[in-house]
Structure 1
Amino acid sequence: MLVSQILRTKGDAVFTIVPTEKVGVVAELLHAKRVGALVVLEAERVVGIVSERDIVRAIAAHGAGVLSRPVSEFMTANVLFAEPGETVDSLLSRMTDRRIRHLPVCKNERLVGIVSIGDLVKWKISEVEAEADGLKAYIAAS
């Protein structure tokens, strides 16, 4: 299963913000959009990603005052990306090794979607279930 197949099914909508957005606004957007991360764009270029985990760490380290500071101070700037032609297995491995939950998907340096570890696990489970069903049908036909 390829990332492009997942994006075709789930859609390519990505919620984004600018680096100057306040952390409090980011927290509100994460809640309102019911997502775990927002991609930070500057002139159509991905410059970071900010997750619920980043917000919690910022508040724990600096107190509630961070809510009025720009997200650029707390976002992950060294973003790992996925490409549409990559496999679910390769991304699951990368995300597990790096302990990350979201990967922006880029093609020719242009943001085309985002996948979460939940998206990948869902696809992996359906792949395994389809394989099991195929084996059951084969055994039943024998």
Structure 2
Amino acid sequence: MLVQEILKLKGNVLYTTHSGASLSEAVAALTEHDAGSLVVMDAGEMTGLITFREVLQAVGKTKGDLSAMTVSDFKVAQPVVARPDMPIEAVRELLVNHHQRYVPVMDGKVLMGVVSFMDVAKAVLEEQGFENRMLKNFIKNWPAEDAND
């Protein structure tokens, strides 16, 4: 399975913010959309990613006072990205090796979407389930040996 197939299953929903937004606004957007990440877009280009991890780091650093903090203060400026043609196994390895839960999917400079570790896990389970059903069907329909031979 490829990343572009996961994006098709997820749909076109993409949540964004900008570097100048207050961190409180970003928290409100994450909460409103029940999302784990926001892509930071400035002048039509991705300039970073902010996730609940960065928000928690900000809460810890500011002792909960996010009033003066902006997205640019805590965003991941250069997140690792995936390509739409990447196999799901490569994305899983990318997420694990870079300790990221979310990865923007870029086709050149065009943002296609965001894939989460949960999306990857779900895709792997669905793919394994399909393979298991196919193998069980194959075994079930295996030609029986003729007992008279």
- TM, length-normalised to structure 1: 0.96
Kindly indicate whether the alpha-carbon contact (under 8 Å) linking 2:58 and 2:74 is maintained by their aligned counterparts in 1: yes
In the TM superposition, what is the alpha-carbon distance from 1:36 to its structure 2 partner? 0.2
Q: Identity over aligned residues, as a percent?
A: 26
Q: Structure 1 residue 28 and structure 2 residue 64: aligned?
A: no
Structure 1 letter corresponding to 2:29:
L
RMSD: 1.0
Q: Which residue of 1 aligns with 2:59?
A: 59
Structure 1 letter corresponding to 2:58:
A
Q: Which residue of 2 aligns with 1:18?
A: 18
Q: Which residue of 1 aligns with 2:45?
A: 45
Distance 2:67 2:125 in 1: 38
Paired residues, what number?
A: 142
Q: Give unpaired runs (5+ residues) of structure 2.
A: 143-149
Q: Which residue of 1 aligns with 2:146?
A: none
Q: Which residue of 2 aligns with 1:77?
A: 77
SS at match of 1:64: coil
Moved over 3 A (4+): none
Structure with bigger gyration radius: 2
SS at match of 1:111: strand
Q: Give unpaired runs (5+ residues) of structure 1.
A: none
Distance 2:12 2:47 in 1: 19
- TM, length-normalised to structure 2: 0.92
